[in-house]
């Protein structure tokens, strides 16, 4: 088993941190979906520990890719070969699982995106701008307010007889709209369904504005598990929605695929620090640099009290040291 290569993909997102291991045939042999809970470092270490216990001794890692909003952080901790943005990672992963995909809908914790592909290349994309109304965290918040486990949220929507209309434009207004409808006596099912409809309406009006949504359409990200949202998409688009097999870890899968491609084409030696990273203690410290009037807030990442990375400086003095290490 030792001679076969494996690749790790890590997606550190705002809500979940996902890790996958793929083999030489691009098959996912392990995937982890963990809640970030505002502590990306701890969760990442925990994920690495879980992988180490199961695979640490048996497999040989040939490449590591990171993505997500915490991709830089993850990269210095585990020693990544590739650091990629989420759009590219998602596009790569979906093309692998849904051949010929033309439209990718992705709704994550803080971001929602639409990716349009033409002839196998990303041709256009959009991400939500200043508002977070149409994202997973908002659904999460509403589920906990209504005391419904997020896993059952979509089921509620499907049981609804007639959805109530909820303003989907802004998270704050949507919430007060929901509370208002709830106080007038609408059933929870109808309100949840109304919310799903509103979220999809907002997504299509905002992100998909002026774009041709052509089949095959893949829907991924944590929110794709919500059957209520899927139904709302199919209903409003009048098209079939495909949920890829690893819909919840597509970003991480894409990062692993990109790392593998890079490893095979440029034949590098991985900078992976090994599964041993899980045994170290990591901390982030923020310091205000006093060297000039910019007064940048510099973030220092410490591993057992030695600084392994710094960023946040405008002049590049600190971040360049990281590159040299």
Contacting residues toward another protein, per CB under 8 A: 69, 84-88, 111, 119, 121-125, 127, 129-130, 209-211, 293-295, 314-316, 320
Between 110 and 187, name the residue whose CB sits nearer to another protein. Answer: 110
Contact 73, 40 (CB under 8 A): yes
Q: Which is nearer to another protein, 87 or 242 (CB)?
A: 87
**Complex with another protein: residue 122 or 302, whichever CB lies closer:** 122
Nearer of residues 245 and 291 to another protein, judged by Cβ: 291
Contacts 24+ apart (CB under 8 A), 278-286: 278/45, 278/48, 278/49, 278/52, 280/304, 282/41, 282/45, 282/77, 283/41, 284/41, 284/73, 286/312
Task: Provide, rounded to whole angstroms, the least separation between the CB of residue 212 and another protein.
Answer: 9
Nearest distance in Å: CB 85, another protein: 4
Whole-angstrom distance, CA of residue 82 vs CA of residue 84? 6
For residues 251 and 90, the answer to whether their CB atoms sit within 8 Å is yes
Nearest-approach distance from CB 126 to another protein, in angstroms: 8
Give me the least distance between CB of 294 and another protein, in Å please. Answer: 5
Q: Give the chain's length.
A: 325
Q: 169 CB contacts (<8 Å, ≥6 apart)?
A: 131, 133, 202
Minimum Å gap between C-beta 172 and another protein is 14
SS3 51: helix
Least Cα distance to 262 among 27, 3, 5 occurs for 5
Q: Which is nearer to another protein, 129 or 183 (CB)?
A: 129
Cα distance between residue 11 and residue 236, in whole Å? 30
CB 108 within 8 A of CB 118: no
- In the complex with another protein, the residue whose CB is nearer, 45 or 91, is 91
Nearer of residues 46 and 211 to another protein, judged by Cβ? 211
Query: Contact 93/254 with Cβ under 8 angstroms?
Result: yes
d(CA 66, CA 290): 32
Q: What's the min distance (Å) between Cβ of 138 and another protein? A: 16
Rounded to a whole number of angstroms, the minimum distance from the CB of residue 68 to another protein is 9
């Amino acid at each position: 088993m030792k001679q076969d290569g494996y690749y790790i993909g890590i997606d550190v997102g705002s809500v979940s941190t996902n890790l996958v291991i793929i083999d030489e045939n691009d098959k996912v042999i392990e995937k982890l979906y963990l809640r970030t809970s505002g502590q990306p470092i701890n969760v990442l270490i925990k994920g690495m520990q879980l992988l180490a216990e199961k695979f640490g001794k048996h497999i040989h890692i040939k490449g590591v890719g990171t993505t997500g909003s915490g991709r830089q952080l993850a990269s210095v901790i585990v020693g990544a070969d590739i650091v990629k943005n989420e759009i590219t990672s998602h596009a790569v992963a979906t093309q692998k699982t849904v051949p010929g995909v033309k439209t990718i809908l992705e709704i994550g914790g803080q971001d929602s995106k639409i990716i349009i592909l033409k002839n196998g290349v990303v041709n256009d994309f959009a991400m939500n701008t200043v508002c977070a109304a149409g994202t997973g965290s908002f659904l999460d918040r509403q589920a906990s307010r209504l005391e419904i486990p997020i896993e059952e949220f979509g089921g509620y929507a499907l049981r609804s007889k007639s959805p109530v209309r909820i303003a989907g434009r802004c998270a704050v207004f949507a919430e007060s709209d929901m509370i208002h409808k709830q106080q007038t006596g609408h059933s929870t099912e109808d309100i949840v369904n109304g919310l799903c409809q509103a979220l999809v309406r907002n997504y299509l009006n905002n992100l998909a504005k002026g774009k041709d949504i052509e089949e095959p359409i893949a829907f991924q990200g944590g929110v794709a598990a919500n059957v209520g949202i899927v139904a709302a998409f199919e209903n409003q688009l009048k098209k079939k929605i495909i949920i890829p097999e690893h819909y919840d870890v597509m970003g991480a899968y894409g990062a692993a695929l990109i790392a593998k491609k890079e490893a095979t084409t440029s034949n590098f030696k991985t900078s992976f620090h090994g599964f041993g990273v899980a045994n170290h203690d990591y901390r982030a410290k923020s310091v205000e640099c006093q060297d000039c009037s910019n007064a940048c807030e510099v973030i220092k990442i410490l591993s057992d009290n030695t600084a392994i990375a710094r960023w946040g400086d405008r002049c590049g003095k600190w971040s360049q040291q990281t590159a040299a290490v």
